[in-house]
Amino acid sequence: MSSKTAIRILIILVLIYFLRTLIIYKPILSLFKTEQTKGVIINNKNFLRRGFLTGAFTYSYNFKINDKVYTNDSKNENVKIGDTVLVEYNETFPFINRIKDKK
């Protein structure tokens, strides 16, 4: 394998890693069977772009499946700590999840 081929493969793998949410996770939640459960907004801040300068952030949420707790970014600036959210997750890979609807 030439060094140019190796570099191209490495670049593709890095792009897949950084774009995994768009090219892997979202299609899995859209195409395959999902389950739903309730989650709770927790005090875990995710700063938005330039958030350290502007103070813009979102809170995370967590939910529990089979005695394991999963956490993810709510991507919603309007939720408050303690709010209940409906979480959609892939039953085989619960770490692939998103908020379905705010309740």
pTM confidence score: 0.74
Whether 97 contacts 76, CB under 8 Å: no
Cα separation, 46 vs 101, in Å, equals: 19
pLDDT, tens digit, 9 for 90 and up, residues 45-85: 998 887 777 888 999 999 999 999 999 999 998 999 999 99
